[in-house]
Amino acid sequence: MTGRVRIDETMQVSAGGASVTVKADPLEIELDPIALGRGPADAIAETISEAIASSEVPASPGTIAKRKRQGITSTRKWNATGELARGIRSDVNGQGFDIHAPSDRLEDPALLEQLAADIPEVANPTDSTQFQNALEQSANAVVRRR
């Protein structure tokens, strides 16, 4: 279900001739999965991007030699040019989100497995403080007092 629901409640209680009126604060409930998922999805993409950008895993000697011939001086296995980390993003897909890498990176599933083995945040991005904070903010946004 998407959209918002508003709850207003008034109740009267009578006992022995006395009357008490209880009025609840109006609540607004956010049920849109895109609105609720944007923060956590972006946090996953940022966690992965930052982990890749800061990775110091060394490339193999053969990869380093090949890159030198291409004018790339980085000795890092991942993100030698910065394009991989800069290209990680979250995109809406129906009622949720997908996390994407640049189209010319990680095309081989084995590369993604290697990346996840080398960089724990790729394998478990939801363990990050950044994701946990975004999830908490999203949960807090579900119900708001008006």
pLDDT tens digits for range 54-84:
999 999 999 999 999 999 999 999 999 999 9
Residue 51 half-sphere exposure, CB side, CA atoms within 13 Å? 22
SS3 71: coil
Q: Are 84 and 105 in contact (CB under 8 A)?
A: yes
* Closest by Cα among 89, 114, 115, 92 to 100: 89
Helix ranges restricted to H, the chain: 33-54, 61-69, 83-87, 109-118, 120-123, 129-142
Does pLDDT of 19 surpass 90? no
What is residue 24's DSSP assignment? P
pLDDT, tens digit (0-9, with 9 covering 90-100), for 33-55: 888 899 999 999 999 999 999 99
Q: What is the pTM of this model?
A: 0.78
End-to-end CA distance of the chain: 21
Is pLDDT larger for residue 94 or for residue 15?
94
Q: What is the pLDDT of residue 18?
A: 61
Share of the chain above pLDDT 70, in %: 82
Q: How far is CA 76 from CA 58, 108, 132, in A?
A: 4, 19, 29
Q: Give per-residue pLDDT as tens, 82-100.
A: 999 999 999 999 889 999 9
Nearest in space to 119 (alpha carbons), one of 78, 80, 62, 67? 78
* Average pLDDT taken over every residue of the chain: 86
Q: What's residue 1's pLDDT?
A: 45
